[in-house]
Amino acid sequence: MLLKILSVLAVAGCALALFSLERSPAAKSAAAPDVERGKYLVSFGSCNDCHTPLVMGPNGPAPDMTRMLSGHPQDLVLSSGPALEGPWGAAATHTLTGWSGPWGLSFAANLTPDKETGLGAWSAEDFIATIRSGRHLGRGRPLLPPMPVHYVNTLTDEDLRNVFAYLQSIPAVSNRVPQPVAPAQAR
């Protein structure tokens, strides 16, 4: 009888151990991306600097968090940048979402999960391919300055998945960012 009780306890112990292993942090991270870590990386990586438009407030320019990470405002239409002379190599709009330089005009992308205008139709693989290649969806047009893609590219696939998971968790904002404009000599 004692042997039987010990056997049952042993089996139960093994089951408990297996259950605990299954729910360990390592298993969790492999199974699902960590949204909180994604948020941490987005904050530390200063993504809001360019992807959230600035508005003028009582203390000067501040990010408009009602449009968090929604990119260059679609109603701020630009067709050309200012003439850059002397030491000036680039210029930005007051929102810090539109940029002008030798590459032409570039506009910060809408990173919110809006299906039509943001990343809502993207997969994590699309996001990783974009960062790794420096090209839209890994195969299209190049990402443009000032996007520091070479820095973001140092993140591991796991952290890029965490970043993407966070971006998919924030409020969707419908904002169709304009297409970049090539410099006149390349058109």
Partner 1 sequence: MNPNRLLSAALVALVTLGAPIWIALSAPRWTTHASSTPPATLAETGLYADARTLTVADGLLEFAPQYPLWTDGARKRRWIALPPGSAIDASDADAWRFPVGTKLWKEFAFERRIETRYMELGRDGRWSYATYAWQPDESSATLAPEGGVAAACESSRGALHDIPGRFDCLACHEASPSPVLGFSALQLSSERDPRAPHADARESGVTLDELVARGLVRNLAAELLDHAPRITARSAVERAALGYLHGNCGGCHNSRGALAELGLDLAWSFEHGSRTLATTLGTPARLQGNGLARQRLVAGAPSDSLLFQRLATREPYLQMPALGTHLVDVQARELIAQWIAELGRRERNSLAHGAAGTRR
Residues that bind partner 1 (CB under 8 A): 46, 49-50, 79, 88-90, 92, 96, 99, 101-104, 121, 123, 125-126, 129, 132-142, 144-146, 148-150, 153, 176, 178-183, 185-187
Residue 145 beta carbon to partner 1: minimum distance, rounded to whole angstroms = 4
Please report how close the Cβ of residue 35 comes to partner 1 at its closest, in angstroms. Answer: 23
Handedness of CA 155, 159, 163, 165 (dihedral sign): positive
Cα separation, 72 vs 118, in Å, equals 12
Question: At its nearest, how many Å lie between partner 1 and the CB of residue 159?
Answer: 13
Report how far residue 153's alpha carbon sits from residue 175's, in angstroms, rounded to the nearest whole number.
26
State the DSSP H helix or E strand holding residue 107, giving kind and residue range, or none if neither.
strand 104-107
Residue with tokens 């298993």: 27
Residue among 57 and 140 whose Cβ is closer to partner 1: 140
Q: How far is the CB of 107 from partner 1 (least distance, A)?
A: 11
